[in-house]
Chain A
Amino acid sequence: MYSKGFKPLAIATVVAIAVSFALVFFYAPLDADQGFVQKIFYVHVPMAIVALCGFVAGGIMAIKHLRSGDRSWDMRSYVAIHLSIILGTGVLITGAIWAKASWGHWWLWDEPVLVSFLIVFLLYCVYYPLRFSIEDPDRQARYSSVFAIAAGAFVPINFAAVRLAEAVTHPRVLSQTGGNLPGEMRLTFLVSIVAMALLFVTLWKLELTAKNASMQLKRLRTTLELRSAT
């Protein structure tokens, strides 16, 4: 069910990643202020954007779950959130590396993306203990979906709030992620974002397939054991 169209998707992902890496290192010009270090942005920012979209998508899937009562939507929501948290660790680590390389500190408070990401990350980390402390599977799914919806709505609000605060105290120091990028950089960025998004969807389908197979296996085992008992 989940593995429909997986192979072309995976191939597209590999191609996209290869192309984006090629663009980053051979096509995009060197940044005037930051030099070679700016190249980190091509992996850091797409990871952040895709992760944030993943969180919101998880919330939307959770809405579908609550509305339809179909637990497969909860599984989709869980995997999306799970993947976004993993990407989120990547965002924070690459962000810290970039901060150290360009400012000498391992953390910066005046990059709104990084800061609001930290808050979102801290929030979503609670998803696991919340989910797995509820034993009843139906209730576990429902409560997780409620969390996913509230947290998904929180993501844009949080981003807006942090940006608002930073705009007043620290005027935007870096316009790298803004709209005023030269054409070659913008193309590279777009391709990187597309590649990251494709990667996300591929891994999402992969994990869902594995999870689903695992669940079917459990059902098969129970059925067989019941049969052999009678």
Chain B
Amino acid sequence: MIRTASAILRKDLTIELRTKESVPAMTLFTVTVYVLFHFGLDRDSLDGELASGVLWVTLLLAAVIGVTRLFATEREQGGIDSLLLAPVDRTALFVAKATALFLYLLLLEIVAVPVFGLLLLGPDLFAAFPELAAILLLADIGLAAVGALVSALAAETRARELIVPLLLLPLVVPLLIGAASATEPLLREGGTSEDLGRYLALLGGYDLVFVLIALAVFDYLLDD
């Protein structure tokens, strides 16, 4: 299973490197939205809960772009059918897609979070590390699992571009709650992170549940 998964993953990453369709779009979108927020909120700098909210909501909206495109290559070239003709465990497909999405999100954040620190954040961004890194990683795991699941669910429907955000965004609300609440004291001058453990536990629990569910149900999706 691992071998199949890594083969699919390698293929996806190669295609992404060549066509550059997902990650640059997500990143550009995120930076643009930060600029929009500057004008929309009419603020030069944000801190605390406002900063945390803007950061996370924008990341989630950008994730929608990545999720919508996750099975795009398969769909366009009929790759799903050929994958399934071979006796491939659907679980391997899930692992590959979720890992790909996870990596795209990481790449997005490596660029977008410092840009946020530059454009909109008042307090120093580096004071927020390493806790912020932990929050980002945990959130990305959950986003990747749920994103892959939603992408597969919507893969065969006609109204895919509408259904993906409508499905994904409510499902990640607990993630948003955990991540934004955890990040909020980190982005404030002299904020204490006493509740951090609680929110990390929420994120971890969410990740665990949805990874397990996605692994369990993925077999029933994407066959013809």
Contacts and interface: CB of A to CB of B under 8 A. Distances in A.
Direct contact of A and B (CB under 8 A): yes
Interface of A: 66, 119-120, 122-123, 125-126, 129-130, 133-134, 139, 142-143, 145-147, 149-151, 153-154, 157-158, 160-162, 164-165, 168
Nearest to B165: A126
Interface stretch (B8-16, B58-66, B96-104, B213-221): B213-221
A7 B146 CA distance: 43
Contacts of A146: 149, 153, 217, 220-221
Contacts of B79: none
Contacts of A129: 159, 162-163, 166
Given A126-B163, A145-B220, A149-B213, A164 B153 contact: no
Contacts of B195: 168
A227 B170 CA distance: 50
Interface residues of B, number: 33
Given A162-B177, A168-B195, A126 B166 contact: yes
B53 interface: no
B154 A161 contact: no
B221 to A, nearest CB: 6
A135 to B, nearest CB: 9
Given A162-B177, A164-B177, A165-B177, A157 B157 contact: no
Contacts of B81: none
Interface of B: 146, 149, 153-154, 156-159, 162-163, 166-167, 170-171, 173-174, 177-178, 181, 195, 198-199, 202, 205-206, 209-210, 213-214, 216-217, 220-221
B221 A143 contact: yes
Given A129-B162, A130-B157, A160 B202 contact: yes
B181 A130 contact: no
A157 B159 contact: no
A64 to B, nearest CB: 13
Given A153-B210, A161-B178, 18 more contacts: A120-B170, A122-B170, A126-B163, A129-B159, A129-B166, A130-B153, A133-B159, A134-B157, A143-B221, A146-B217, A150-B171, A150-B213, A153-B213, A154-B170, A157-B205, A160-B202, A162-B173, A164-B199
B156, B157, B209 interface centre (most CB from chain A within 10 Å): B157
A16 B159 CA distance: 44
19 contacts: A119-B170, A122-B170, A123-B171, A126-B170, A129-B159, A130-B163, A133-B158, A133-B163, A134-B157, A146-B149, A147-B153, A149-B213, A149-B216, A150-B213, A150-B217, A153-B213, A157-B205, A157-B209, A161-B202
